[in-house]
Structure 1
Amino acid sequence: MDLHQLRCFIAVAEELNFGRAAARLNMTQPPLSRQIQLLEKRLGGTLFDRNNRHVQLTHMGEHLLKESRLILKLADRLESSVQQSASGETGTLAMGFTAVFSWSFIPQLLKELTVKLPGVDFQLFEQVSHKQISSVEDNTIDVGFVRHVPPNPRLAWLPLQGETFVAAFHCDHPLARKRKIPLSAFNNEPFFLYSPNEARQFYDRITDLFVFSNVTPDFKYQLAQTHTILGLVNAGLGCAIVPASSRTLGLPNVTYMAIEGVNIQAHNFLVYSKANPNPVLPVFLKALSEALITL
Structure 2
Amino acid sequence: MASLIQALAVAEYLNFHHAAQALGISQSSVSARIRALEEELGITLFERNTRGVRLTEAGRHFVDGIAAGVDQLDHAVKTASLAASGDCGRLCIGLHGLIPGSFLDGLLARYRAKYPGILVEMVEGTARDAIMQLRAHRIDVAFLVGRFDLPDCHSRPIWTEPLVAALSSNHRLAAQQGVTWSDLVGETFLARHGGTGPQVHDHLLLRLAGRWPPPSIQRFDVERGTLLSIVAQGFGITILGAANGLFPMNGVVFLPITDEPEPVVFSAVWLPQNRSASLRNLLALATEMGRRSTQPQDCRLP
Which TM-score band (shorter chain)? 0.7 to 0.9
Q: Larger helix proportion, structure 1 or 2?
A: 1
Which shifted more, 152-161 or 174-183? 174-183
Q: Deviations over 1:86-144 (max 9, x none)?
A: 44332222210012x45534433222111222222222110111221222233221101
Shift in alpha-carbon separation, 1:39–1:102, aligned structure 2, 3 A: farther
State whether structure 2 residue 222 is matched by structure 1 residue 219. Answer: no
Q: What TM-score, normalized to structure 1?
A: 0.82
1:44 aligns to what? Answer: 43
Given that 2:147 and 2:265 are in contact with CA atoms closer than 8 Å, whether structure 1 keeps it comes out as no
- Whole-angstrom distance in 2 between the partners of 1:22 and 1:15: 10
Shift in alpha-carbon separation, 1:264–1:168, aligned structure 2, 3 A: same
Q: Deviations over 1:213-247 (max 9, x none)?
A: x3536625134765443221112222223222221
- Whole-angstrom distance in 2 between the partners of 1:89 and 1:95: 17
- Whole-angstrom distance in 2 between the partners of 1:142 and 1:94: 5
Shift in alpha-carbon separation, 1:135–1:165, aligned structure 2, 3 A: same
1:123 aligns to what? Answer: 121
Given that 2:92 and 2:139 are in contact with CA atoms closer than 8 Å, whether structure 1 keeps it comes out as yes
- Whole-angstrom distance in 2 between the partners of 1:169 and 1:34: 85
State whether structure 2 residue 15 is matched by structure 1 residue 17. Answer: yes
Given that 1:196 and 1:204 are in contact with CA atoms closer than 8 Å, whether structure 2 keeps it comes out as no
Q: Any idea what SS the aligned residue of 2:234 has?
A: coil
1:209 aligns to what? Answer: 207
Shift in alpha-carbon separation, 1:56–1:127, aligned structure 2, 3 A: same
What code does the residue aligned with 1:256 have? F
Q: Any idea what SS the aligned residue of 1:238 has?
A: coil
Q: What TM-score, normalized to structure 2?
A: 0.80
- Whole-angstrom distance in 2 between the partners of 1:64 and 1:76: 18
Given that 2:20 and 2:30 are in contact with CA atoms closer than 8 Å, whether structure 1 keeps it comes out as yes
- Whole-angstrom distance in 1 between the partners of 2:124 and 2:7: 54
Which shifted more, 142-151 or 183-192? 183-192
Given that 2:160 and 2:265 are in contact with CA atoms closer than 8 Å, whether structure 1 keeps it comes out as yes
- Percent identity between the aligned chains? 23
Q: Deviations over 1:165-192 (max 9, x none)?
A: 2222211223212222343332433332
Q: Any idea what SS the aligned residue of 2:174 has?
A: helix
Q: Deviations over 1:255-293 (max 9, x none)?
A: 122234333422110011112244433233234334544
Given that 1:87 and 1:280 are in contact with CA atoms closer than 8 Å, whether structure 2 keeps it comes out as yes
Show the 5 A alignment for 1:247-266: 247-266=245-264
Q: Deviations over 1:54-107 (max 9, x none)?
A: 1042463566656554443332222111222344332222210012x4553443
Which shifted more, 21-30 or 63-72? 63-72
Shift in alpha-carbon separation, 1:184–1:153, aligned structure 2, 3 A: closer
Q: Any idea what SS the aligned residue of 2:133 has?
A: helix
State whether structure 2 residue 18 is matched by structure 1 residue 6. Answer: no
Q: CA-atom RMSD, angstroms?
A: 3.1
Consecutive unaligned residues in structure 2, runs of 5 or more:
none
Q: Any idea what SS the aligned residue of 1:186 has?
A: coil
- Whole-angstrom distance in 2 between the partners of 1:291 and 1:77: 34
Q: Any idea what SS the aligned residue of 1:10 has?
A: helix
- Whole-angstrom distance in 2 between the partners of 1:195 and 1:118: 34
Given that 1:191 and 1:218 are in contact with CA atoms closer than 8 Å, whether structure 2 keeps it comes out as yes
1:186 aligns to what? Answer: 184
- Whole-angstrom distance in 1 between the partners of 2:212 and 2:193: 19
Consecutive unaligned residues in structure 1, runs of 5 or more:
none
Q: Any idea what SS the aligned residue of 2:129 has?
A: helix
Which shifted more, 280-289 or 122-131? 280-289
